[in-house]
Structure 1
Amino acid sequence: MASLYSPFELRGVAFKNRIAVSPMSQYRSVDGYANDWHMVHLGRFAMGGAGLVYAEATAVEKDGRRTHGDLGLWEDAQIDSLRPIARFIEREGAVPGIQLGHAGRKASERRPWHGETPVDDEDVASRNEAPWQAIAPSPLPYADGWPAPDEMSEDDIRRVIRSFGDAARRSREAGFRMIEVYAAHGFLVHQFLSPISNRRQDGWGGSPENRRRFATAVARSIRANWPEDYPLAFRLSATDWLDGGIEIDETVATARALKAEGVDMIDCSTGGIGGKERPRRMVIEEGFQTPFAEQVRRDAEIATMAVGFLWNAEACADIIASGKADMIAMARELLDDPNWPLRNAEKLGADENHAMWPIESGWWLMKRERLLKKLGLR
């Protein structure tokens, strides 16, 4: 029986445990380039014991950024800024992963602490950050008060598909070992998948088969530029939580189609297709998205990752042990405690005497623990 701390393998890549660090946008990049902030932010999770560390949503085109602070891999010159980060993550025993995405109609947005609203002249005046024109499957604004995106032409579609492949090649050269495509939360691939945002009448819209064509083409483009023994994942919104949107049965079919194109894992999230208000059907509680990971894993016969409001070690261990998912992903819980994987290993009987910790810290912690016990202080 698998456990949270048992090894796991996808293609030729081995993970030391089933704990993944979910992509977390930092909005600290300049012109798409990584910097010291990204090194420290991601490096601490590798030191903290996670098996997989994902770099944040990384734009495959400059105009595919969500904000001016997004990471990017739309040009070869950006590779060098990511290479030492991937190298450090791997040296600390974690698998370096990267999430590739295109914001589509969510592009040209302010950072969250600036309002998560469209960039406008105020941003030019205060931060010298100008807006740009967004593109999408259909000319439908993301939310009230947002500008309409340009409807993508056939040339636009083909170009973006190629851009995902080019970014995959750059990811490989930067040293990453796993790619996740951001096909959830209202980003461009999700916009094609959902009938809420895709009203096209050509071969890229209408039926579920047509709407998933873009996603499968992106998978093919990446696979053509990504080593055969490196895994590829997609983060999907398993449901839009909206009447007339994606439901779980369609997501299972999408997962099967992606598997046929060489995708190895589905990271099962939900929602995000339009506006900032939570859909009424969406009830948030601990592990509320895990049943979607379980159903996709069972019905599409593909590895899955459970994500969303996971923080309890015993509950996470049960997800793996009961076969509901193959890995779990955490984000804000790890921001609060980057050492969560190491701290809970002892609790779950997978570690003792801080043996899993980097020796530079584990040795001191073991010595402290022995002294405290000897003195009867703990």
Structure 2
Amino acid sequence: MTSPHPSSAASRYRALLSPLDLGRLTLKNRLVMGSMHVGLEDHPGDLARLSAFLGERARGGVGLIVTGGHSPNRSGRLTAGGAQADERTMTRHQVITREVHDADGRIILQLLHAGRYAAQPLAASPSGGRSPLSPFRSRRLTRRGTRRTVEQFALAARRAVDAGYDGVELMGSEGYLLNQFLAPTTNRRRDRFGRGAEGRRALPLAIAAAVRDAIGEDALLSYRISLLDLVPGGQTWDETVVLAKGLAERGVDVLSTGIGWHEARVPTIVTSVPRGAFVPLTAQLRSEVDVPVIASNRLHDPDLAEQVLARGEADLVSMARQLLADPHLPRKLAEGRSGQVVACISCNQACLDKVFVGKRASCLVNPRAAHETELVLTPVAPRRVRKVAVVGGGPAGLEAALAAAERGHVVTLFEATEELGGQLRLAARIPGKEDYALALRSWRMRLAAAGVGIRLGMRPTPADLAGFHDVIVATGVAPRPVDLPGFAPSAEPPAAGPQVVTYQDLLEERAVAGERVAIIGAGGIGVDVAEYLTSPIPSPTLDARAWREHWGVTDPSAVRGGVTAAPQRTEANDGRRAREVHLLQRKETKIGAGLGRTTGWVHRAELRRAGVIQHRGVTYERIDEQGLHLVEDGEARVLEVDTVVLCAGQVSVADLAAELGAGASRTSPRVHVVGGADLAAELDAERAIRQAVEVASAL
């Protein structure tokens, strides 16, 4: 194991950028692109796109790439058409390994058997049964089937190395098959692959030994090990350490740490999880084994990653989503451009939320991710350079200005307020979304580096824009008004009855909510406002210890699986004074039903814990001195509240676009409308940013 040493290129990240001898492979730095399925792995027709995606990360300078999971056999596929490391597929993958190696990169293939998580009828698991994540009941693996699984892992690993991969990773975490064999809750076998902790780890150890024999000593063998299952009946810490030592004895070169099963009721990767929340466990494992250890989960900040390595808490750091956001992060660090790193905000909206519903992943702040062959920012020839005005400094405007400038156009960005950020700036004020501010800081730095002129506090007129070739209107949205008696927002509390405010007034602190609050609208913004009004102060996201207590995460040495029931919120253990908050929606559907697949359940859990009173199928009538009048379940009632917050959707702010269109002539600038100014329904930052880049790419 090589020790970190100063890098001549960027001493600020000397540990992160130092090389490492891993097995018989030398990595250029300690950054690992962790495995993440992006939806390009399953179909041969997507191979060129997958190759371009992985090649871009190799050119960005990452030390080691781990692919998305490929099953060793049909029963282990995630879906019926899911990726499998069969002979034909691996032969085709030579285009990927050549692409990565031509960029001086290193890449290993992850072998993943889904077990009871497989959403297909051939699913097989240690003891049979159905998981919460699949509509199919898995069959119990026979003893012969278990032995056959060992052979199939070894065959798949050999095929991967023959295809040019530098090695393989065995997925033994996140609740997949190998993890299922290790946990008493899913392994109730009475044969040699069950019956106590030694029997439960027999299969993972046998597979590790067989794979090492199959790939030889020169190829890299990684094992993704679960440090904290976060499910009742999971592993104990002592069992994890014994497994780790057994894996090292069987030839595993590196242990990549994983946290939490996919079915766990504790968040592990969303933005409300504190940065580095699970590093102490990684450090503990590193102190007990003699092979390098990779830290993971919410370690997207290069400064934090550097600290983890410099303190000796890990040997490498895994960043998956961060390298979706910025494939050139390692190169930027090495060149002293850390301020220009595109910040991952762990929102999951365009990546994991898409993958879990069978769509291709991308990235909210980098729509080119996994779309490298389709969304191309080609530099313009000098004679084709255009003067471009971008009006509006929200996410769509920021990305439009940046993309146009990076192509070589001369860009000026106008923002009517004194701050950039638009709706994203408001989102950053929600407890648990503090990292959204990182994205805004990154945009500001990149705009400056690209030479974009920024005019704050200016709302340009058509006359101001007459000298530009193109105007990109990204003026965003405004809160939708409610056309009912008493619903007009008021700057000051009335003499009697509730004050009506918009969510924007509340989050920008132009208004203060009282002790009894009604929130009109239970979409994403309504849920955010409910959390803003009820979350503990300070936010648990800013204190890893408080967050672990908040979610019932405990020492796996003391509690099997490392999780207990999370404590309920009370005034005694909560820094915020308890409020009575009502969250109301017209729809009959479950509140939060439209939120992201990986994040919605977290928000709903927080609402329940905070005691937010939820109302569905509501008809609003009026607001007067008595309060908010409504009809619920066919009965009229009045909510006696101090404050009513309007979160009833948004409307496009498109006045400028209309003015420019009305006065257009042959010499007028071309007008492009993007983001919320184009479509306000279901406020969607991912769509807005992607549309902005598409427009800029076509200028």
Which TM-score bucket, shorter chain as reference? 0.7 to 0.9
Residue in 2 that maps onto 1:119: none
- State the shift of 1:31 in Å: 5.7
Q: Residues 286-312 of structure 1, C-alpha deviation per residue, up to 9 Å, x if partnerless?
A: 112222221111112221000111111
Once the two structures are overlaid, the 10-residue window that deviates more, 36-45 or 284-293, is: 284-293
Q: Give the one of 65, 77, 82 matched to 2:77.
A: 65
- State the shift of 1:340 in Å: 1.4
- State the shift of 1:140 in Å: 2.7
Q: Give the one of 17, 26, 29 matched to 1:5.
A: 17
Residue in 2 that maps onto 1:118: none
- Which of the two has higher C-alpha Rg? 2
**Contact kept in structure 1, 2:116 and 2:176, CA below 8 Å:** yes
Write the distance in 1 (CA, Å) between the matches of 2:69 and 2:236: 24
- State the shift of 1:264 in Å: 1.3
The sequence identity of aligned pairs, in percent, is 29
Residue in 2 that maps onto 1:157: 146
- State the shift of 1:249 in Å: 2.4
SS of the residue 2:222 aligns to:
strand
Q: Quick check: 1:96 aligned with 2:96?
A: no
Q: Give the one of 258, 263, 266 matched to 1:278.
A: 266
Whichever residue aligns with residue 222 of structure 1, its letter is: V
- State the shift of 1:36 in Å: 1.3
Q: Give the one of 175, 190, 206 matched to 1:186.
A: 175
SS of the residue 1:257 aligns to:
helix
Q: Residues 107-145 of structure 1, C-alpha deviation per residue, up to 9 Å, x if partnerless?
A: 1x2xxxxxxxxxxxxxxxxxxxxx422110012321287
Write the distance in 2 (CA, Å) between the matches of 1:161 and 1:289: 31
Write the distance in 1 (CA, Å) between the matches of 2:213 and 2:314: 28
Q: Give the one of 244, 249, 270 matched to 2:233.
A: 244
Q: Residues 82-108 of structure 1, C-alpha deviation per residue, up to 9 Å, x if partnerless?
A: 11111211221221111111111111x
Write the distance in 2 (CA, Å) between the matches of 1:224 and 1:42: 28
- Please show how residues 162-177 of structure 1 align to structure 2 within 5 Å: 162-177=151-166
For structure 2, the 5+ residue unaligned runs are: 5-14, 339-378, 380-405, 407-447, 454-699
Q: Quick check: 1:264 aligned with 2:261?
A: no
**Contact kept in structure 2, 1:268 and 1:289, CA below 8 Å:** no
Write the distance in 1 (CA, Å) between the matches of 2:72 and 2:127: 20
Q: Give the one of 293, 297, 308 matched to 1:308.
A: 297
| Number of corresponding residues | 338
Residue in 1 that maps onto 2:91: 80
Q: Residues 168-223 of structure 1, C-alpha deviation per residue, up to 9 Å, x if partnerless?
A: 11011110112110011111111101112111111111311111100010011101
Write the distance in 2 (CA, Å) between the matches of 1:314 and 1:228: 34
Write the distance in 2 (CA, Å) between the matches of 1:302 and 1:193: 21
Residue in 2 that maps onto 1:106: 117
Q: Residues 134-162 of structure 1, C-alpha deviation per residue, up to 9 Å, x if partnerless?
A: 11001232128743311110111011110
Whichever residue aligns with residue 91 of structure 1, its letter is: D
SS of the residue 1:229 aligns to:
coil
Change (3 A) 1:69 1:327: farther
SS of the residue 1:236 aligns to:
strand
Residue in 1 that maps onto 2:132: 143
Residue in 2 that maps onto 1:37: 49
SS of the residue 1:175 aligns to:
coil
**Contact kept in structure 1, 2:121 and 2:138, CA below 8 Å:** no
Write the distance in 1 (CA, Å) between the matches of 2:303 and 2:134: 43
State the structure with bigger RCO (CA 8 A, min sep 6), 1 or 2.
Answer: 1
**Contact kept in structure 1, 2:230 and 2:265, CA below 8 Å:** no
Write the distance in 2 (CA, Å) between the matches of 1:147 and 1:276: 19
Whichever residue aligns with residue 264 of structure 1, its letter is: D
- Please show how residues 179-218 of structure 1 align to structure 2 within 5 Å: 179-218=168-207
> Under a length normalisation based on structure 1, what TM-score does the superposition of the two structures give?
0.82
Write the distance in 2 (CA, Å) between the matches of 1:53 and 1:279: 25
Residue in 2 that maps onto 1:115: none
Q: Quick check: 1:327 aligned with 2:316?
A: yes
For structure 1, the 5+ residue unaligned runs are: 110-130, 350-360, 366-371
**Contact kept in structure 1, 2:283 and 2:312, CA below 8 Å:** yes
Q: Quick check: 1:51 aligned with 2:63?
A: yes
- Please show how residues 341-352 of structure 1 align to structure 2 within 5 Å: 341-347=330-336
Residue in 2 that maps onto 1:125: none
- Please show how residues 356-375 of structure 1 align to structure 2 within 5 Å: none
Whichever residue aligns with residue 38 of structure 1, its letter is: L
Write the distance in 1 (CA, Å) between the matches of 2:134 and 2:82: 22
**Contact kept in structure 2, 1:164 and 1:218, CA below 8 Å:** yes
> Under a length normalisation based on structure 2, what TM-score does the superposition of the two structures give?
0.45
Write the distance in 1 (CA, Å) between the matches of 2:163 and 2:97: 7
- State the shift of 1:71 in Å: 2.3
**Contact kept in structure 1, 2:41 and 2:68, CA below 8 Å:** no
SS of the residue 1:9 aligns to:
strand
